[in-house]
Amino acid sequence: MTIQAVRGTRDILPDEVQAWHGIEAAARGLLARYGYRELRTPVFEETELFARGIGAETDIVSKEMYTFADRDGGSLTLRPEATAGIVRAVIEHNLLNTDPALKVYAMGPMFRRERPQKGRYRQFHQVDVEAFGFRSPSVDAETIELALAYLDACGVRQHELVLNSVGDRHCRPAYVQKLRDALRDVAPALCADCQRRADTNPLRVLDCKVPEDQAAIDALPRIGDHLCAECAEHFAEVRRQLELLGIPYRLSHRLVRGLDYYVRTTFEVTSDLLGAQSSVLGGGRYDGLVKDLGGPDAAGIGFAVGMERLVLLLPPGGGEGRCDVFLLPLTKAAFDPALRLQRALRQAGLRALLDPEGRSFKSRMKQADRLGARFAAILGDDEIARGVWKVRDMARSEQEDVKEERILDHLKEKANG
């Protein structure tokens, strides 16, 4: 029996990888412009970090983590998200001492044991963006603007920004109590998950997607009606700045997000092109997290983009070729000059390829097409006798003879011009 990839994981094949390079490069370029630098953390951490950082009652910690016993008895977990590890690293290396306004990003695989389906995998990738030390609502607006600018840089247009404020330590507890009270009557008619959450983590009820539950959940008390003055003012200013920047959004009182650490602003970008797994990125403010994990009392705000889902949203095309010059030595005598020219072209920075397997002219021309080669450089006995190469412009289907001593410069000029 042949061995296959583990359920919920996937290979990113060479035909697909160009799209990934594109979104990775777009992220690095854009984030640098906004003052972010990369921070790379390990893909596994002490289990305790996620239990404390994400919240024991969340779906991620309660049922989605890949946790295993280390050989010395410790408990380790493959990171299900990037924020907790980044905060750990920021504290461990005292990064906020030297830079109390710290902007960092990370990119790489995350692991969650969910039911695999389109846009939902057990190993998936995120671009994760975090800003520490900023309490101003301007940074909420800037972070949201950055998230949208990233989608824009990738050519993704069809999407919607969803926005909410979930309050903070001052106002949320009273709201959660109201929710709990209201749920006492309503919960028995809701799905089993909701019945459990009504008890353990009432906010999560707002996340429920079961169609029959929706009407009852929509009628529950809304956090927006229970924000304290500071949270209400902060949220109003975030919205004012988004409007100033011309960024449309939809308010949703049910956007509480999957992690316990969020305070005040939460946001998500969805696209109906994604079907059921509609959220391409999500984020929010997490002002208490750094302190909770043993660091200074520093604010935090950030978001994570699901790269698989982003790739699904990319416009078709690109389809850039993989080869500048495809060399076709037609006889034994042509082979050595072709090898030398291939090396010289590569040294000049061009993508040069030749097929040394001695296949037919026709099949080699087909190969050049498949590779999207821009030029074919052909050398047979006749060309050798005349001291030329035959250069074919593949897109135009035009051929010309080029003197042997000019061939390298000629191809360099053509390929760069």
Interacting residue ranges for ligand ATP, rule: CB under 6 A: 81, 112, 114, 119-121, 124, 126, 258, 277, 279-282, 304, 306, 308-309
| CB closer to ligand ATP out of 108 and 372 | 108
SS (H, E, C) the chain: CCCCCCCCCCCCCHHHHHHHHHHHHHHHHHHHHCCCEECCCCCEEEHHHHHHHHCCCCHHHHHHCEEEECCCCCEEEECCCCHHHHHHHHHHCCHHHHCCCEEEEEEEEEECCCCCECCECCEEEEEEEEEECCCCHHHHHHHHHHHHHHHHHCCCCCCEEEEEECCCCCCHHHHHHHHHHHHHHHHHHCCHHHHHHHHHCHHHHHHCCCHHHHHHHHCCCCHHHHCCHHHHHHHHHHHHHHHHCCCCCEECCCCCCCCCCCEEEEEEEECHHHCCCCEEEEEEECCCHHHHCCCCCCCEEEEEEEHHHHHHHCCCCCCCCCCCEEEEECCHHHHHHHHHHHHHHHHCCCCEEECCCCCCHHHHHHHHHHCCCCEEEEECHHHHHHCEEEEEECCCCEEEEEEHHHHHHHHHHHHHC
Alpha carbon distance, N-terminus to C-terminus of the chain: 52
Q: Which is nearer to ligand ATP, 81 or 168 (CB)?
A: 81
* Structure tokens belonging to residue 226: 């229970």
Q: Which is nearer to ligand ATP, 121 or 389 (CB)?
A: 121
Nearer to ligand ATP, 52 or 309 (CB): 309
Closer residue to ligand ATP in complex, CB, 12/333: 12
Beta carbon of residue 279, minimum distance to ligand ATP (angstroms, whole number): 4
Find the shortest distance in angstroms from Cβ 67 to ligand ATP: 16
Q: How far is the CB of 124 from ligand ATP (least distance, A)?
A: 3
Name the residue number minimizing CB distance to ligand ATP: 306
Rank residues 162 and 376 by Cβ distance to ligand ATP and give the closer one: 162
What's the min distance (Å) between Cβ of 171 and ligand ATP?
23
Q: How far is the CB of 110 from ligand ATP (least distance, A)?
A: 7
Residue closer to ligand ATP (CB basis): 8 or 155: 8
With respect to ligand ATP, which residue has the nearer C-beta, 47 or 342?
Answer: 47
Minimum CB distance to ligand ATP, residue 60 (Å): 7
Task: Closer to ligand ATP by CB, 101 or 273: give it.
Answer: 273
- Residue 81 CB, nearest distance to ligand ATP (Å)? 5
- Least spacing, CB of residue 225 vs ligand ATP, in Å: 24
List the Cα angle 39/303/251 in 5-degree steps: 170
- Considering the complex, what minimum distance in angstroms separates the CB of residue 259 from ligand ATP? 7
